[in-house]
Amino acid sequence: MTLRIGNASGFYGDRFSAVREMLTGGPLDVLTGDYLAELTMLILGRDRLKDPARGYARTFLRQLEENLALAVDNGVKIVANAGGLNPAGLADALRELTARLGVPARIAHVEGDDLSGRTGELGLGEPLTANAYLGAWGIAECLKAGADVVVTGRVTDASLVVGPASAHFGWGAEDYDALAGAVVAGHVLECGAQATGGNYSFFTEHDIATPGFPIAEIDASGQSVITKHPGTGGAVTTETVTAQLLYEIAGARYAGPDVTTRFDSITLSQDGPDRVRISGVRGEAPPPDLKVCLNTLGGFRNETTFVLTGLDIEAKADLVKQQLEAGLGKRPSEVRWTLARTDHPDTDTQEAASALLHCAVKDPDSKVAGRAFSSAAIELALASYPGFHVTAPPSDASPYGVYTAAFVPAETVQHIAVLPDGARTTIPPSANTSAPAAVDQPELPPPLADGPTQRLPLGTVLGARSGDKGGDANLGVWARTDEAYRWLAHALTPETLKRLLPETAPLHVEAHPLPNLRAVNFVIHGLLGAGVASAHRFDPQAKALGEWLRSRVADIPEALL
Q: Are residues 370 and 458 in the same domain?
A: no
Query: 338 and 277 in one domain?
Result: no
Reported as a single tens digit per residue, the pLDDT across 36-45 is 988 788 888 8
Give how far Cα 105 sits from Cα of 79, 108, 109, 287, 465, Å: 13, 10, 13, 36, 39
Residue 441 lies in a domain: no
Q: How far apart are CA 427 and CA 25, in angstroms?
A: 35
* 102-129: pLDDT as tens digits: 999 999 999 999 999 999 999 999 998 9
d(CA 344, CA 517): 41
Residue 66 counted as domain residue: yes
Position 558 pLDDT exceeds 80: yes
Query: Are 79 and 31 part of one and the same domain?
Result: yes
pLDDT at 548 over 90: yes
Residue 48's pLDDT band, with cuts at 50, 70 and 90, is: confident
pLDDT digits (tens, 9 = 90+) for 139-171: 999 999 999 999 999 999 999 999 999 999 999
pLDDT of residue 470: 83
Cβ neighbours around 39 below 10 Å, total: 19
* Model confidence at 535: pLDDT above 70: no
212 and 303 in a common domain: no
Residue 42 has a pLDDT of: 83
pLDDT tens, 74-92?
999 999 999 999 999 999 9
Segment 332-379, tens digit of pLDDT = 999 999 999 999 999 999 999 999 999 999 999 999 999 999 999 999
196 in any annotated domain: no
Q: What is the pLDDT of residue 265?
A: 97
Q: In this structure, what CATH number is given to the domain that contains residue 317?
A: 3.30.70
Helix (H) or strand (E) holding 160: helix 159-169
- The yes-or-no verdict on residue 532 having pLDDT over 70 is no
* Cα–Cα distance, 214 to 193 (Å, whole number): 7
Residue 489 placed within a domain: yes
Mean pLDDT rounded to a whole number for the chain: 95
Specify the DSSP class assigned to residue 13: T
Q: How many domains does the chain have?
A: 3
Q: How far apart are CA 149 and CA 136, in angstroms?
A: 15
Q: Is the pLDDT of residue 131 over 90?
A: yes
pLDDT (0 to 100) of residue 534? 64
pLDDT reported for residue 56: 95
- Sort 92 into a burial class: Cβ within 10 Å, 0-12 / 13-18 / 19+: middle
Do residue 220 and residue 329 come from a single domain? Answer: no
Q: Would you say 411 and 518 are in contact if contact means Cβ atoms under 8 Å apart?
A: no
Q: Is residue 419 part of a domain?
A: yes
Task: Say if 434 falls within a structural domain.
Answer: no
Residue range 311-337: mean pLDDT, rounded: 95
Which of 10-14, 242-246, 362-366, 440-444 is least confident? 440-444
Q: Examine the pLDDT at 29 and tell me if it is beyond 80.
A: yes
User: Residue 277 forms beta bridges with which residues?
Assistant: 225, 269
Owning domain of residue 307: 298-402
Is there a single domain that holds both residue 27 and residue 173? yes
Answer yes or no: do 488 and 359 share one domain. no
In this structure, what are the phi and psi dihedrals at residue 125, rounded to the nearest 5 degrees? 80, -150
CA angle 492, 495, 497 (to 5 degrees): 55
Count Cβ neighbours within 10 Å for each residue of 502-534 and write b for 16 or more, e otherwise: eebeebebebbbbbbbbbbbbbbeebbebbbbb
Strand order in the sheet with 267-270: 267-270, 276-279, 224-228, 214-218, 3-7, 30-33, 77-80, 149-152, 107-111, 416-418, 424-426
Residue 304 to residues 318, 383, 393, Cα–Cα distance (Å): 16, 17, 7
Evaluate whether residue 440 is within a structural domain: no
Q: Within 10 A of 376 (CB to CB), how many other CB atoms are there?
A: 19
**Domain end (from 402, 435, 461):** 402
Same domain, 269 and 352: no
Question: Are 156 and 174 within one domain?
Answer: yes
Q: How confident is the model at residue 172 (pLDDT cuts 50, 70, 90)?
A: very high
- pLDDT, tens digit, 9 for 90 and up, residues 475-512: 999 999 999 999 999 999 999 999 999 999 999 999 99
Q: How far apart are the C-alpha atoms of 266 and 88, rounded to whole Å?
A: 37
Q: What percent of the chain has pLDDT over 90?
A: 87
Q: What is the pLDDT of residues 209-240, one digit of tens each?
A: 999 999 999 999 999 999 999 999 999 999 99
Residue 266 shares a structural domain with residue 360: no
CA–CA distance, 356 with 147 (Å, rounded to integer): 54
Mean pLDDT for 42-69 is 91
What is the pLDDT, as a whole number, of residue 294?
92
Residue (of 248, 254, 253) closest to 466 by Cα position: 248
Element (H or E) spanning 334, and its range?
strand 334-340
Q: Average pLDDT in the 444-450 region?
A: 92
| Cα–Cα nearest to 136, from 91, 167, 168 | 167
For the ranges 348-352, 405-409, 466-470, the lowest mean pLDDT is seen at 466-470
Regarding whether 547 and 421 lie in a shared domain, the answer is: no
Co-location of 11 and 59 in the same domain? yes
Q: What is the pLDDT of residue 438?
A: 78
Query: Letter for the amino acid at 545?
Result: L
Q: Is pLDDT of 531 > 80?
A: no
Q: How open is the CA angle 6-10-15, to the nearest 5 degrees?
A: 90
Kindly tell me if the per-residue pLDDT of 551 is higher than 70: yes
Is 198 a domain residue?
no
